Structure 1
Amino acid sequence: MAAIRLFAEKGAAQLNVSDLAQEAGVARGTIYNNVENIDQLFQQVASQLSKEMHQRVNDSFAGLEDPAARLATGIRLFIRRAHEEPHWGAFLSRFALSDASLREMVYSQATADVLKGLSTGRYRFPQSHLASAISLIASATLGAMLLVREGIKTWRDAGSETAELVLCALGITVDEARRLASADLPPLPALD
């Protein structure tokens, strides 16, 4: 948790071993014994966060087959977690689009659900627009997380509004998008 907070506040290039040791309450030697360098630590943190969130979101989808409902739920879970864990949200906001591990976390499940929605006719846009659609989803979600972090919107409002707007952009009717974006949100299961 200390590394996430420090990376979010200072960035990868500005963080040093002394900062990390002080935040973690350990000696610098302990850090040197366990971390080859700050860049390696950043990659470990990003990779671990990506795997963990991907698994937790997948676990929350139990019994949820509709790709539009899955997408709305996923968007809202990311936004809620940014509210509940501000350092996680700040880390993701700062690095999600610039780090491959974090991009994978944001893009992978959304891509699968969008492709399924396209193949079943649930979404109405040309498949040639897929990369732009995924970018729209990721950018809108990260933007909503910022609104929550800055206190401009509650996580509930930002999550529902963002999910609704994204679904409409993909071709879901306004009424259905609103219904899906305001459905009860399942818990984000902890990892075993």
Structure 2
Amino acid sequence: MNSHTIMERAEIGRRKRRKTRAILVDAAMRVFAEKGLEAATNAEVFSEAGVSRGTFYNYFETKEDLLKAVASELVDQLNDQIDSYTEEISGTPERLAWTFGSFLNRTKADPVWARVILSIAAMNFPHPVGASTGANIARDMQAGRDQGLFTLEDDEVAINIMVGTVTQAMHSTLAGRTGPDHAYHVAKSILLALGTPEARATEAAKLARQADL
């Protein structure tokens, strides 16, 4: 067997592994949606995926590992959607306000999605918001500073403010403790904390009311 054949077979194996993993993650999303995070079992997931128990455990040793994979996929999808929806929004405060609103409005519409996102934030995988979201926040913070609309210099503090406020607001939304204008007030409060002038924060936060994914 020559080296080219060995490399081809190795690549086929990698593609097959990626495909099987994607099937398991998709199945987990469906099971979580139907059963809820707490009630769902690994057995239900590999049954839904149509794979054996042994195959499942080759990819995920624990339910927590599976949840991390599902949440990572959801966050990546969300980031892609946010970039698509906000590409024509030129102002960084407006872009962020829309993003905050989209999280909170999606929480109302899809509580299972929200619980997965909150679970992964609580597990700190490997960062409360994930690497891609953290990079997006750093990008937006620098853009806001360049526009003279943010005064906060520390990106980690900015992440703490944004993630802490939005995740707690998601918890409040799930608990039914929020009013009809909650997303607006959350967005405005965060923008003010980032150093956005009050008049601009007030206007930008209005986008949070109708933001949707």
TM tier, shorter chain? 0.7 to 0.9
Q: Identify which of 136, 144, 147 aligns with 1:120.
A: 147
- Are 1:90 and 2:112 an aligned pair? no
Q: Identify which of 131, 140, 144 aligns with 2:156.
A: 131
Q: Identify which of 81, 84, 94 aligns with 1:56.
A: 81
2:11 alignment partner in structure 1: none
Between the aligned partners of 1:139 and 1:106, the Cα distance in structure 2 is 14
Q: What is the deviation of 1:54?
A: 0.6
Larger radius of gyration between Structure 1 and Structure 2: 2
Q: What is the deviation of 1:58?
A: 0.7
Q: How does 1:2-151 map to 2 (within 5 A)?
A: 2-5=30-33, 8-9=37-38, 16-18=41-43, 20=45, 24=48, 30=52, 32-34=54-56, 36=58, 37=60, 38=62, 39-97=64-122, 98-100=124-126, 102-125=129-152, 127=153, 129-151=154-176
Alignment TM-score, normalising by the size of structure 2: 0.71
How many residue pairs get aligned? The number is 178
Structure 2 residues not aligned, in runs of 5+: 1-28
Between the aligned partners of 1:75 and 1:106, the Cα distance in structure 2 is 13
Alignment TM-score, normalising by the size of structure 1: 0.78
Cα offsets for 1:79-128 (capped at 9, x unmatched) = 11111110111111122251127433543322211111112321123x2x
- Are 1:172 and 2:196 an aligned pair? yes
